[in-house]
Structure 1
Amino acid sequence: MAQFSVNPARFDPYKNFKFRVKWDGRYVAGISKVAALKRTTEVVRHREGGDPSSSRKSPGRTEYEAVTLERGVTHDVEFERWANKVWNFGNGLGAEVSLKDFRKDVIIEVYNEAGQLALAYKVYRCWVSEFQATADLDANANAVLIQNIKLENEGWERDYEVVEPSEPTFIEPTG
């Protein structure tokens, strides 16, 4: 397992605005927002007949929430191509779905302020359950046109091979 105190001088937590997302071995362009990684484990309550009027608790099923990726609309079609593997309208009877390769593993990387890789999470067996090609169009607005995909997944884990980087220091000029 990785060493956790490579940078004992770092006091501040990492910021949430430097990140990249990778699938199929390459980075996906323009992602501006990634929903939180969250899992919930059901509580199984049980009681033995001779116990007092209280119950015991143990863990049950664990569910992983879907992860939404958001980005501005460009000519990059990666979101749409992946979404079309689950349902591609007009592809013909029996050819609307590509069950062979509709799942992908996704890597979410978090960087420190210096642009060094600090954390990474692997999200497993993702598939697109929702695709929003554009946001609402509004002639009176002054905003970026946004699209997003919602990824169902079967679990995620932190990549402990990514260790805390030694952050750079600035050298004061002499003389």
Structure 2
Amino acid sequence: MPDMDIYRSYNFVLDIQNVTVGYFTEVSGLSVSVEAISYREGGGAAAVRKLPGRVEYGDVTLKWGMSDSTELWTWLMSAAAGNVERKEISIILLKPDGQQENTRWNLHSCWPRAWRGARLDALGQEVAYETLTLVHEGIERA
């Protein structure tokens, strides 16, 4: 059995076309599902067969500590105004050394669908996090 490294979920970076934002703390929602279409063949076959149908890509949610950068907000507001600007995004998982790229997921034709502002608490001491939900039209693993 070959020697395999186990990769840590915290060792990642994001590459968003033309957007430089601070430190992303979480990426969630990477998923692909293929619809299963049930049908029964003619001739009295007892079994129901399954055929592949539409492919659906899950929404991806980005989480980051709030900063002075307004680039993601501007991108969202452009979409809200009906001017959807699609971007290519890469989520890059790094090797244990934190420097070398191990796996890359390229998301195609992304645009922002939803934003959630930071939870504000006058008595708290937590980092103010924002989240942005993106839709996309395809994913490839490189």
Q: Same fold (TM over 0.5)?
A: yes
**Residues 86 and 111 in structure 2, CA contact (< 8 A), matched pair in contact too:** yes
Partner of 2:104: 120
The residue number in structure 2 matching 1:164 is none
Q: Shift of residue 136 of structure 1?
A: 2.1
User: What residue in structure 1 maps to residue 122 of structure 2?
Assistant: 139
> Aligned AA for 2:33?
T
Q: Distance in 2 between matches of 1:26 and 1:111?
A: 20
- Could you tell me which residue of structure 2 aligns to residue 97 of structure 1? 82
Partner of 1:4: none
Can you give the 5+ residue segments of structure 2 that lack an aligned partner in the other structure?
none
SS in 2 for 1:68: strand
Aligned to 2:114: 130
Q: Hey, what does 1:12 align to over in structure 2?
A: 5
4+ residue segments displaced more than 4 Å: none
More strand by proportion, 1 or 2?
2
Q: Give distance in 1, aligned partners of 2:126 and 2:44.
A: 61
- Mapped partners of 1:126, 1:63: distance in 2: 14
Counterpart residue number, 2:15: 22
Q: Provide TM-score, normalisation by structure 1.
A: 0.74
Counterparts of 1:26-41 in structure 2, within 5 Å, are 28-41=21-34
CA distance, structure 2, for counterparts of residue 124 and residue 53 of structure 1? 41
CA shift for structure 1 position 82? 1.1
Name the counterpart of 1:83. 76
Alignment CA distance shift 1:73-1:26 (3 Å): closer
What do you get for the CA RMSD once the two structures are aligned?
A: 1.6
Structure 2 distance, partners of 1:12, 1:27, is 30
Give 1:25 shift: 5.3
Return closer, same or farther for 1:27/1:51 CA change in 2, 3 Å cut-off: farther
Runs of at least 5 residues in structure 1 that lack an aligned partner in the other structure: 1-7, 88-95, 160-175
Number of aligned positions between the proteins: 140
Which deviations, in whole Å up to 9, do the C-alpha atoms of 1:33-68 show, x marking residues without a partner? 001310111101111221432111111001001000
Query: What is the SS of the residue equivalent to 1:131?
Result: strand
Amino acid at match of 2:39: H
